[in-house]
Chain A
Amino acid sequence: KAGVTQTPRYLIKTRGQQVTLSCSPISGHRSVSWYQQTPGQGLQFLFEYFSETQRNKGNFPGRFSGRQFSNSRSEMNVSTLELGDSALYLCASSLGHFQETQYFGPGTRLLVL
């Protein structure tokens, strides 16, 4: 079974631009969660989607948004990029709501200049 895939793997953007990241969960998994990882803050939860609905959101500004499609694939969008948005963005999938074991993708490394 293929694992979680994320595209692109690397991105360089400039301040003020926007970016869209994509995540394809493990086949059969319906829940997708997004995390931001930085050296200073560690892994922080962004949001979780289940059946195309956002179930929970972390403490991030409204510039961070996401969505999930009917095939469980998910996208994350960051608008008006700031230097501090440079990070590794990880998505994780699990079977469904209340399934705690999350499997992570390789991440997208975003650098904002």
Chain B
Amino acid sequence: EDKVVQSPLSLVVHEGDTVTLNCSYEVTNFRSLLWYKQEKKAPTFLFMLTSSGIEKKSGRLSSILDKKELFSILNITATQTGDSAVYLCAAPGFGNEKLTFGTGTRLTIIP
């Protein structure tokens, strides 16, 4: 069965700090790994990673995939209170019919 594990489960930091969120996976026929941010309701898409070692960047957020070690990290620099959310990583299963999600990392930024 496909498995996605995130750590830490929760993280509390001060505004301006840099954080690193971790995601490891065991997925049959791996194709990609996705990161989402969930604030109140719907998860919003952040990144899709398919190739090892190539960093994807969007403003203060960046992410990279290591297909040899089967993990990905999401970095947020100069954190702001608006970054407080649950960050989810997910991987499509065999045939891409479904996403297997990790339990998420709850990030809280203290002003």
Give chain A's interface residues, CB within 8 Å of chain B.
4, 33, 35, 42-45, 48, 55-56, 58, 88, 90, 92, 97-107
Residues of A within 8 A of B88 (CB): 43
Residue of A nearest to B98 (CB): A45
Residues of B within 8 A of A33 (CB): 97-99
Residues of A within 8 A of B97 (CB): 33, 48, 55-56, 97
Residues of B within 8 A of A97 (CB): 96-97
- In the assembled complex, B85 has its CB within 8 A of some CB on chain A: no
**In whole angstroms, what is the CA distance A99 to B92 when docked?**
9
Please tell me if the beta carbons of B96 and A45 are within 8 angstroms of each other in the complex. Answer: no
Contact of A104 among B43, B92, B93, B96 (CB under 8 A): B43
Please tell me if the beta carbons of B100 and A45 are within 8 angstroms of each other in the complex. Answer: yes
Please tell me if the beta carbons of B99 and A45 are within 8 angstroms of each other in the complex. Answer: yes
Residue of A nearest to B94 (CB): A56
Residues of chain B from 51 to 82 with CB closer than 8 A to chain A in the complex: none
Contact of B42 among A45, A101, A107 (CB under 8 A): A107
Task: Give B96 Cβ to nearest chain A Cβ, in Å.
Answer: 5
Please tell me if the beta carbons of B48 and A101 are within 8 angstroms of each other in the complex. Answer: yes
| Mask of B1-37 contacts with A, CB within 8 angstroms, 1/0 | 0000000000000000000000000000001101010
Are A104 and B44 also in contact (CB < 8 A) when A48-B98, A97-B96 are? yes
**In whole angstroms, what is the CA distance A32 to B44 when docked?**
16
**In whole angstroms, what is the CA distance A48 to B45 when docked?**
18
- In the assembled complex, B87 has its CB within 8 A of some CB on chain A: no
**In whole angstroms, what is the CA distance A107 to B41 when docked?**
6
Task: Give B55 Cβ to nearest chain A Cβ, in Å.
Answer: 18
- In the assembled complex, B103 has its CB within 8 A of some CB on chain A: yes
Task: Give B12 Cβ to nearest chain A Cβ, in Å.
Answer: 19
Please tell me if the beta carbons of B101 and A102 are within 8 angstroms of each other in the complex. Answer: no
Please tell me if the beta carbons of B41 and A56 are within 8 angstroms of each other in the complex. Answer: no
Contact of A42 among B42, B48, B102 (CB under 8 A): B102
Residues of B within 8 A of A35 (CB): 99, 101
Residues of A within 8 A of B99 (CB): 33, 35, 43, 45, 92, 100, 102
